[in-house]
Amino acid sequence: MRPGDSLSNIASRHNISVAELSRINNISNPNHIRAGQTLKIRGGAKVKDSRSNQNQYASNRNYKVPPANKNTDHSVQASSTYTNQPIPKMGGWHKPTQGQVIRSFNPNLPGHKGIQIAGNFNQPVNSANNGVVVYAGQGSGGFGQLVMVKHANNVYTAYGYLSSVTVREGQKVSSSQQIGTMGTSPEGKNILHFEVRVNGNPINPTRYVNF
């Protein structure tokens, strides 16, 4: 896995969807893959064979996730300088929900690769921009029910701690369309965990969305 890699990058390189790759490997939260983890690639995924210059179709192939820096509790190993890198210019952004930001973004701290927005239990959570749902289900990384949406320019958003999910994988969603409702964190707070990633790297959501 290259620095800044993620499950979505791996899936893209092997011509397989994030949802299919997650199901094949029993991954309930595509935000979390471990260094050293072996991922199965199958279903006609097109794989580059390094021993020759030919592409091959593998019916059942493993992908080894190599170590990435020292902090391996998340799939993305972001440096603080990445947050200042240029990002794709995109319009049409809206707040995913109403409320106050109670935890700011810090990619070098576990659990801070997004922001937390406080609100009321079961209040609407909306897609922040037009896109396609690539994951909808129970996460394993402590974020409860989770939805991930892929937007243009390889930009992704993630919505965690949901009390309900109202979309399905593969569904197209528009900006401000409801995708679920706000749930409760393990600390008992009614919040939304919201992330924005560009090419698998977390960025400060405030670079796109005004809170």
The per-residue pLDDT for 18 is 73
The per-residue pLDDT for 63 is 47
> Which pLDDT band holds residue 28 (cuts at 50, 70, 90)?
low
pLDDT at 2 over 60: no
> Which pLDDT band holds residue 120 (cuts at 50, 70, 90)?
very high
3-state SS string for 123-140: CEEECCCCEEEEEEEECC
The per-residue pLDDT for 24 is 77
> Which pLDDT band holds residue 39 (cuts at 50, 70, 90)?
confident
- Of residues 206 and 26, which shows the higher confidence score? 206
Contact, 33 vs 5, CB < 8 A? no
What is the pLDDT averaged over residues 89-96? 96
Distance CA(46)–CA(100), nearest Å, equals: 45
pLDDT at 99 over 70: yes
The architecture in CATH of the region 92-207 reads: Distorted Sandwich (2.70)
Query: Which DSSP string do the residues of 109-171 spell out, in sequence order?
Result: STT-SSEEEE--TT-EEE-SSSEEEEEEEE-SSS--EEEEEE-GGGEEEEEEEEEEE---TT-
**Any idea where the domains of the chain sit in the sequence?**
92-207
The per-residue pLDDT for 108 is 82
Residue with tokens 């394993």: 140
The per-residue pLDDT for 98 is 96
